[in-house]
Amino acid sequence: MQVASTAYDQHLNMILGDVEEIITTVEIDDETYEEIVREDVKNGFVALGNGTTKRNVPFLFVRGDGVILVSPPLRTA
């Protein structure tokens, strides 16, 4: 997720604004163990050619127990 603004508390509950959510969907074939890429278009998602879906969310609440890692963006030289 890429986020423009955020508010949070001591439990890491977060209110996020202008969120870009990117989801990559990959399935594994049970017989060949090869990746199967599925492309779905639903609930406002736009399917891209590589099995990745993207959507913009203007306002999002994330419960703190679902937060695994918070880090700053990568530096660009």
Q: Rg of the chain over CA atoms, in angstroms?
A: 16
Q: How confident is the model at residue 67 (pLDDT cuts 50, 70, 90)?
A: confident
In a domain, 55, yes or no: yes
CA angle 41, 56, 68 (to 5 degrees): 100
pLDDT exceeds 90 at position 75: no
Q: Does any domain span residue 76?
A: no
pLDDT score for 13: 93
Residue 32 lies in a domain: yes
Identify the bridge partners of residue 8 per DSSP, sorted by sequence position.
14
- pLDDT per position as a tens digit, 19-57: 888 887 777 788 998 876 655 556 655 554 457 888 898
Residue 73 located in a structural domain: no
Candidate from 12-16, 45-49, 63-67, 70-74 with smallest mean pLDDT: 45-49
Per-residue pLDDT at 41: 58
Q: Assess if residue 74 is contained within a domain.
A: no
Q: What is the C-alpha to C-alpha distance for residues 19 and 71, in angstroms, rounded to an integer?
A: 15
